[in-house]
Amino acid sequence: MTALGKLSDQPTDLYKALVAEITSTTPPPIEDLVIRANAYCQSFGGGAPLYMIPGSSELFLFPSLLYSQLAQYQQLQAASAEASQRVLLTINRIIANANGLAKPDKTLIDTSPFFGGATHLSWCAAEALVIPVRVDQNSVDALRLTLQMLREKSMDYHRFNAQAKYNHRPVVHAIVMTHCGWSRQKANTPDSSTKFFVQKAIDIALEFPELFSEEDISSCFYLLEDFHSSGRISGNQRIPLSKLSAGQKYLVDGQRLEVNPSVDRYKTEISNLAAAL
């Protein structure tokens, strides 16, 4: 299952396309790879065409293939950079081919939260990053590691890119703090736990000013809640939050859930983030 429903009837997916590109075998036809998402989610019906390339659970196997291939190309001496760059720009080529068919206004890549494999290739293709950070210590620590990966030349992203003579670094356009809580005493005010972790995340971001798209780094931060029952309903029923109304009831995994009144605040939070992208 995905947020758009079952895609098991699709003849191919991103994993198969990546493997074909890297092993120089015949890639799947772009017409089979790019699908109309509108057909899989009623809420997208009637609007502008929305295209997608299905992912795959097999992408977890991809890092070993990617880095073993790059290790082999490192031994090619004079041809090393050209061969390595061809590998690192695999997703660029897939997107370029897909754009020729879909002609999108904007392309979004939903990556794994773990760096490596397809996430590395996505960074090589992306102009800007949107980094979700949960309001807890582990996630804030992971934010620092992510920013270090973008800055430090000795870490994997730049190390492999240097092998390919590919000097590219996406900017950080937004940091989205998730699972935020709000004060019950003061309207529109984060609770003390949320304020603590948001401030820690901002302090970390301030150590890496050259990575951000804005000089005012705090303007790159967006606060989202966990959306409670509304979020569960949205995911299970494949209905965007913007289409839900307070008081509606749905059966989710055998449990009857009601859209809570906070959904209007959730819509504003999502709208603010979407407007910045």
Strands (E), the chain: 35-36, 51-52, 128-134, 171-178, 221-223, 249-252, 255-258
Q: What's the pLDDT tens digit per position in 41-76?
A: 777 777 778 889 998 889 998 999 999 999 999 888
Query: So what's the pLDDT on residue 39?
Result: 75
Query: So what's the pLDDT on residue 7?
Result: 55
Region 203-232 average pLDDT: 94
Lowest-pLDDT range of 9-18, 149-158, 207-216: 9-18
pLDDT band at 2 (very low <50, low <70, confident <90, very high): very low
What's the chain's average pLDDT?
Answer: 90
Region 3-9 average pLDDT: 55
d(CA 232, CA 128): 29
Q: What's the pLDDT tens digit per position in 79-112?
A: 889 999 999 999 999 999 999 988 999 999 999 8
pLDDT band at 18 (very low <50, low <70, confident <90, very high): very high
Residue boundaries of the structural domains of the chain: 1-111
Of residues 27, 142, 41, the one with CA closest to residue 91? 27
Report which of residues 14 and 77 the model is more confident about.
14
Residue 6 has pLDDT above 70, yes or no: no
Strand partners, 257: 250
Would you give the distance in Å from CA 277 to the centre of its chain?
12
| Rg of the chain (C-alpha set) | 21
Whether 34 contacts 101, CB under 8 Å = yes
Would you give the distance in Å from CA 194 to the centre of its chain?
23
Work out the widest C-alpha separation in the chain, in whole angstroms: 66
Query: So what's the pLDDT on residue 4?
Result: 53
pTM greater than the 0.75 cutoff: yes
Whether 95 contacts 53, CB under 8 Å = no
Region 1-12 average pLDDT: 58
Report which of residues 37 and 171 the model is more confident about.
171
Query: So what's the pLDDT on residue 43?
Result: 73
Residue type at position 46: G
